[in-house]
Chains A and B, each alone.
Chain A
Amino acid sequence: MIRTQDLRFTYSGDQAYHFDDVQIAQGQTVFIHGPSGSGKTTFLHLLSGVLSCQSGNITLLDQVFSDFSTIQRDHFRRDHMGYIFQQFNLVPYLSVQDNIALPLALSSIKRNNFTGDIKALATTLQLQDVLHHKAVNLSQGQKQRVAIARATIGNPKIILADEPTSALDQENTDICMRILLDQCQQQGSTLMFVSHDVALQPYFDISISTRNLVHIA
């Protein structure tokens, strides 16, 4: 479950964001859309602990995440979250297999949760032929599929996705959306997906516009 209460954040000397309260049940898929600079990535960074809020509360999986220290947030993110970026953010010198397995190497909880095998996962994501290729040599669509595999491996309860389809063509967008939602559904993960592309709205259970979510002062 994800719940925020009276969440406020200000970049140093810049505009102040005030977020409406949000409550998402476990396993729901949420689409947050809005134009650039409307605060959707800031909201995602607050939920992931990359940024810490100046006031208000964030409760994740029944724990007051906003009260955590930086190290506790790092550990929580490592063990219970999957993160997909706009720029794919793969480790360029690791193979596809090693990139996918990266969270398992870093988190014992994810390692214990993962009972399948990476080859089978790669086959589901149509990555079986490039499993041993370096990440740097992949196409855009393949890279994002690796990023999805990496974010969903080890059954994280929360998956955060920041404009993951913005660099993809329509065909790859459809493939990636389908794979991502399938994985979330299979694992019962909550998905928070932000994008400026309103056309993606039908894929999700809940849709929130930044016009309603974010108030900028």
Chain B
Amino acid sequence: MKFLFTLTLQSIAFRKTTVGLSLFSIMISVTLLVGVNRLRVDAKQSFQNTISNIDLIVGAKTGASQLLLSTVFHQGFPSNNISYRFFTSMQQKQDVAFAIPISLGDSHRGFRVIGTSKDFFQHFKYGNKQQLTLTSGQTFASASDVVVGYHVAKKLGYHIGDNIVVAHGMGETSFDPHDDHPFTIVGILKPTGTPVDKAVYVSLQAIEKIHLENHESADDMEQLKPISITAMFIGLKNKVAIFGLQRAINEYKKEPLLAIIPGLTFYEIWNLVAVAEKALWIISIFVFIAGMLGLLTLILTSMRERTYEIAVLRSQGATPRQIAWLFVIESTFLTVVGSLLGLFLLWLLILAFGGILQPAFGISLTFPISDPKLWKIIGSVCIAGFVIGWIPAIMAYRKTLQQGLTPA
């Protein structure tokens, strides 16, 4: 077998141009196959990582998806508000580590304005438990301060100290601007690749203030007590308490409330887009099949060129079985090397573009070296190479020595 392997290697080296093209095609299809699969997994992971340390999201009674989409992804509208009193009661609960208020309803040039507290910047985490940080400035201290997401600042060209006005409603062009209450940008967040980048953050007091009839009389943060908020994010000290607290909130008699576990709702929403995910996977499988057919074509074409070489080997005593093995070894070897090159290419691509994908699309692409699924894919690819090699092998096995020695 060692002799056959050496012979195959020398034969491959002799046909390096055509073999190189075939290796290239296998490499590209493996890169796509593993890359698309990785993108699929990482996109899902990144979607779920939009928030990473929130145990419960509480809002007025509505659909679970609607509550998640409106509070985390800024899509759609919340149906109702919850009382600020309930929020403060939650803050005081023993199991609750932190509670972040979320107040929606206003916008700035198409970007959502989110009323919240300083706790948001301190406790909200995304991705792999990453904390929000500022590129410059600080978080809001007064009812006139605003912190903008990275994308907002970049797209609208904002800097610290710029004045902006917010408008009622969610449209890009509002007919109801609160232009009598300008805000000053005091902080700009670093990019996160999550919807956080596309929002404007003010204090709950600011939300109250812009909706007051007489703004001038109320500039003191202490005086501006909110009555209601849209939702809240809750983090618990003890994760075991999640289900108990969720149930208690859902059965709360004084207000119609809904508490959801974000991870579960993420999963439900992701299942809605599973069709697209599967389509992507099927496409990459077809790309792979095309790559393997390319390999088969190469080997079958090379068989014509190698008829003479095979006849020589046969005439020197190589058995038909040994000749068959030459093709199987070649096909398997090229697939294994092509797969490794494909992985290497993927690694290079992730190294080169991974850093761009995270802030731009929120997908943190990782090289899945320890992912068993990756090795399952590579294993399947190599088995496919081994199986495909048997087609020319059987053809060569059936060829008689006479056929090879007689010039065509």
Contacts and interface: CB of A to CB of B under 8 A. Distances in A.
A92 interface: yes
Interface in B323-351: none
A182 B149 CA distance: 91
B4 to A, nearest CB: 9
A106 B402 contact: no
B175 interface: no
Interface string A95-115: 000100011011100000000
B317 interface: yes
Interface stretch (B52-60, B116-124, B307-315, B361-369): B307-315
A152 B309 CA distance: 20
Contact of A89 (B7, B312, B317, B319): B312
A91 B313 contact: yes
A83 B316 contact: yes
A198 interface: no
A74 B319 contact: yes
Nearest to A83: B315
B50 to A, nearest CB: 57
Indicate the member of B313, B315, B400 with the most A CB atoms within 10 Å: B315
Contacts of B320: 74
A93 interface: yes
Interface residues of B, number: 24
Nearest to B317: A78
Contacts of A83: 315-316
For the residues of A in contact with B, the DSSP-based class is helix
B317 A77 contact: yes
Interface in A22-49: 45, 48
A50 B405 contact: yes
B402 A150 contact: no
Nearest to B320: A74
Contacts of A85: 315, 405
Indicate the member of B313, B320, B405 with the most A CB atoms within 10 Å: B405
B402 A89 contact: no
B10 A94 contact: yes
Given A50-B402, A92-B309, A106 B317 contact: yes
Contacts of B316: 78, 83, 102-103, 106, 150
Contacts, number: 59
Nearest to B402: A50
Interface in A120-163: 150
Nearest to B321: A71
B241 interface: no
B303 interface: no
A74 B312 contact: no
A152 B268 CA distance: 76
Contacts of B14: 92-93
B317 A103 contact: yes
A150 B313 CA distance: 12
Interface in A53-109: 71, 74-75, 77-79, 83, 85, 89-94, 98, 102-103, 105-107
B282 interface: no
A40 B70 CA distance: 91
A91 B8 CA distance: 12
A51 interface: yes
Contacts of B15: 93
Nearest to A160: B315
Interface string B139-155: 00000000000000000
B131 interface: no
Contacts of A150: 316
Contacts of B314: 74
Interface string B7-47: 10011011100000000000000000000000000000000
Contacts of A107: 317
Nearest to B308: A89
Contact of B315 (A51, A89, A98): A89
Nearest to A81: B317
A71 B319 contact: yes
A90 B14 CA distance: 14
Interface of A: 45, 48, 50-51, 71, 74-75, 77-79, 83, 85, 89-94, 98, 102-103, 105-107, 150
29 contacts: A48-B315, A50-B401, A74-B320, A75-B317, A77-B315, A78-B316, A78-B319, A79-B317, A83-B315, A83-B316, A85-B315, A85-B405, A89-B312, A89-B315, A90-B312, A91-B309, A92-B14, A92-B309, A93-B15, A94-B7, A94-B10, A102-B313, A102-B316, A103-B317, A105-B3, A106-B316, A106-B318, A106-B322, A107-B317
